[in-house]
Structure 1
Amino acid sequence: MSFKMPKTQNFENHAKYYPLHHFFIMPMALLFLGWTAARMDFSSSQSISESIYLGLLAFLVLLISLLTRLYAIKNQNRIIRLEMRQRYFYLTGSPFYKKESQLTSAQIIALRFAGDDEILELMDKSIKDNLVPKEIKKSIKIWNADHHRV
């Protein structure tokens, strides 16, 4: 049994796609919604109620697919925040709360990719210059890969 090393991660390739969600479930949900909208018929009371029923069903399928992804990402963002609190305490011996209150969630999530040697300096620069996540990620010299992102 051999262990395959993950591909080196960097700014250009860190975005992840979950094939089942991105290339099957969402396209099918959008296709179903479009197909339903195109077939709506308002010529009789029977066809109106069927059209509304199928329209609501198609919209619900789309919402459910979006919500499951949203819940997973929100949960992962909470875990990243906890990891950053632990990491900051490990590196400084101080709680992260003061710095955390000066950063947005998106900045904290972007900062997690920075290596231990540069994260504190980059964190201060992010606060001082109000860097957006993309600028933070592009500033990282030694990328700390995250292969477990949802």
Structure 2
Amino acid sequence: MKTQNYSNHRRHNFMYNYVTFFIVVLLFVSSLYYTYHAHVEGISLRPPLFLLLISFVLLVYFFSAWSFAVKAQDRAIRAEENLRHFVLTGRLLDNRLSIHQITALRFASDEEFPALAVKAIEDDMKPENIKKAIKNWRPDYYRI
């Protein structure tokens, strides 16, 4: 596996993020067209409206499933980084750190993690700036 760093740390599941998304959007747009076409021609709207409803539900489900997975990963990362900070300093992470800051801090090595956590609070650093400030990158190969 390639060594992870700031420039290559983002990962995507090709089948989910691209193929499935494309298919669901295509189904939704096609069902809109089918519903419009049925309305213009004066044929029964029951099948196209049913297809439109199903495609809309799939679209909502697609985004909900992604959101739920990210939130679950965020909670796990918060717990892991809280434990890591406690082991290194004897204190839990400051509760002023946002979940986005904590997920960015997970890439910091043990040597720079406590100081960077304090700097992130004091300077109100954005997650991207936290990642750019990391000198010794600690890879995370599990998050998608």
SS in 2 for 1:83: helix
Question: Which residue of 13, 21, 26 corresponds with 1:26?
Answer: 21
Query: How many Å apart are 1:42 and its aligned residue?
Result: 1.7
Between Structure 1 and Structure 2, how many residues are aligned?
141
Distance 1:90 1:50 in 2: 60
Q: Which runs of 4+ in 1 moved over 3 A?
A: none
Partner of 1:42, secondary structure, is: helix
Aligned to 2:2: 7
Residues 115-124 or 49-58, more deviating:
49-58
Amino acid at match of 2:39: F
1:77, 1:90 → 2: CA distance? 20
The RMSD of aligned alpha carbons is: 1.4
Distance in 1 (CA, whole Å) between partners of 2:34 and 2:8 is 40
* C-alpha distance in 1 between matches for 2:136 and 2:130: 12
* Corresponding residue of 1:3: none
What residue is the counterpart of 1:149 in the other structure? 143
Query: Normalized against structure 2, the TM-score is what?
Result: 0.91
Q: 1:59 aligns with which of 30, 53, 56?
A: 56
Larger relative helix fraction? 2
Percent of paired sites with the same residue: 33
Structure 2 alignment gaps of length 5 or more: none
- With the length of structure 1 as denominator, give the TM-score of the two structures: 0.88
The within-5 A match list for 1:1-150 is: 6-40=1-35, 41-43=38-40, 44=42, 46-47=44-45, 49-96=46-93, 99=94, 101-150=95-144
For residues 139 and 72 of structure 2, what CA distance do their matches in structure 1 show?
A: 19
